[in-house]
């Protein structure tokens, strides 16, 4: 995963890294003769470019929604301007329309037309987001009539010292029935977090040596600045993630810790979306949007941090080689 290009938007059903893999292309069409923009975007100082998706709700009494959703002329506006406004200075930055399919962001097949895949883009060098400042997304017709807008605060990027455990020189000590605590600090506007651990190793078979890695998603949608887990979970993850081939030998190299954090609007979206899904719920999923007027969708901020080259404590290496859970993985 290339985190310098990680951006949080999806068509019609917003799914963030905080549950990214299970996104849907479905949403409920509106009723009535109204023009409703559907907007998804998240801004970040760590991205090389900002992309905003702007689509429209489409309505017809004669043609089915499925047919309309496959028609790019119905799905996309032809006459809009998308801007980001730095609230403090009043300076505006105009985004330009691109085909995401040509930018390396192919749209997944589904209910909606997947080509072209129009997005609105601005490069980092043109925008230069200022951490902790407010920016307003403005979507308007070319005649100046505002369709919708929303404001978010740019989350400041993590600094190296903000990740306090494991520290810059610490080793991972994952003991079977003991707690291991991950702790970080940073911008208070970062209120929801995903944590991943990438385990990098070399794999040898038949004289060939290859670099390999597996990604362990430790927790999603966590709302505290620390997280404790039992060391045993590390070995259980590897037991399930790697095949048990007696002809393979594996050599642990290093690990990378990834913390991805989002703003309040992202947290609200997830909280409201899950609030009515319990066993006693009505079964109706509430809709969350922080867009003005009739706009639907979400505009927020996020940041991410990667600590690389983390080693394992000797006791953890010994357990990786000899524990009942991972012995058959042949770590040397």
* Annotated domain spans of the chain: 3-156+263-302, 160-261+307-329
3-class SS string, the chain: CCHHHCCCCCCCCCCCCCCHHHCCCCCCCCCCCCCCEEEEEEECCCCCEEEEEEEECCCCCCCCHHHHHCCHHHHCCCCEEEEEEECCCCCEEECEEEEHHHCCCCCCCCCCCCCCCEEEEEEHHHHCCCCCCEEEEEEEECCCCEEEEEEEECCCCCCHHHEEECCCCCCECCCCCCEEEEEECCCCCCCEEEEEEEEEEEEEECCEEEEEEEEEEEEEEECCCEEEEECHHHHHHHHHHCCCCCCCEEEEEEEEEEEEEECHHHHHHHHHHHHCCCCCCCCCCCCCCCCCCCCEEEEEEEEEEEEEEECECHHHHHHHHHCCCCHHHCEC
Preceding omega of 320 cis (within 30 degrees of 0): no
Please give the structure tokens belonging to residue 268.
Answer: 């609200």
State the maximum Cα–Cα separation within the chain, in Å, rounded to a whole number: 70
pTM: 0.82
**C-alpha separations of 124 from 4, 28, 39, 154 in Å:** 11, 34, 20, 13
Residues 74 and 307: their CA atoms lie apart, in Å, by 44
For β-strands 37-43 and 49-56, DSSP reports them as: antiparallel
Residues 112 and 252: their CA atoms lie apart, in Å, by 43
Q: What is the pLDDT along the chain (332 residues), one digit of tens a residue?
A: 322 222 233 333 333 333 333 333 444 444 444 568 999 999 999 999 999 999 987 666 666 666 666 677 778 898 999 999 999 999 999 999 999 999 988 877 766 677 888 999 999 999 999 999 999 999 999 999 999 999 999 999 999 999 999 999 999 999 988 999 999 999 999 999 999 999 999 999 998 999 999 999 999 999 999 999 999 999 999 999 999 999 999 999 999 999 999 999 999 998 887 655 555 444 555 678 999 998 999 999 999 999 999 999 999 999 999 999 999 999 99
Residues 168 and 307: their CA atoms lie apart, in Å, by 8
Please give the structure tokens belonging to residue 152.
Answer: 């978010």
């Amino acid at each position: 995963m290339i985190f310098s290009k990680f951006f949080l938007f999806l068509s019609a059903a917003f799914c963030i890294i905080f549950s990214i893999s299970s996104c849907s292309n479905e949403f409920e069409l509106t009723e009535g003769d109204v023009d409703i923009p559907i907007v998804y975007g998240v801004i970040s100082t760590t991205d090389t470019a900002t992309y905003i998706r702007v689509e429209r709700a489409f309505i017809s009494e004669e043609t089915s929604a499925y047919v309309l959703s496959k028609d790019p002329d119905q799905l996309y506006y032809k006459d809009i301007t998308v801007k980001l406004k730095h609230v403090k200075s009043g300076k505006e930055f105009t985004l330009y329309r691109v085909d995401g399919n040509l930018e390396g962001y192919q749209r997944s097949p589904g209910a909606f037309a997947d080509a072209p895949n129009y997005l609105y883009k601005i490069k980092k060098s043109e925008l230069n987001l200022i951490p902790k400042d407010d920016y307003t997304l403005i979507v308007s017709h070319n005649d100046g009539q505002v369709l919708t807008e929303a404001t978010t605060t740019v989350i400041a990027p993590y600094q190296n010292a903000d990740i306090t455990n494991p520290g810059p020189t610490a080793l991972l000590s994952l003991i079977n029935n003991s707690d291991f605590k991950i702790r970080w600090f940073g911008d208070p506007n970062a209120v929801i977090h995903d944590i991943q651990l990438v385990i990098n190793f070399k794999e040898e078979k038949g004289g060939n040596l290859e670099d390999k890695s597996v990604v362990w998603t430790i927790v999603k949608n966590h709302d505290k600045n620390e997280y404790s887990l039992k060391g045993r979970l590390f070995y259980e993850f590897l037991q399930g993630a790697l095949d048990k081939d007696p002809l393979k030998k594996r050599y642990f190299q290093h690990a990378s810790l990834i913390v991805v954090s989002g703003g309040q609007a992202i947290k609200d979206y997830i909280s409201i979306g899950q609030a009515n899904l319990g066993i006693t719920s009505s079964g109706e999923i509430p809709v969350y949007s922080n867009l003005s007027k009739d706009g639907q969708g979400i505009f927020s901020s996020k940041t991410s941090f990667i600590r690389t080259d983390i080693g394992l404590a000797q006791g953890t290496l010994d357990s990786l080689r000899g524990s009942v859970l991972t012995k058959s993985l042949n770590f040397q």
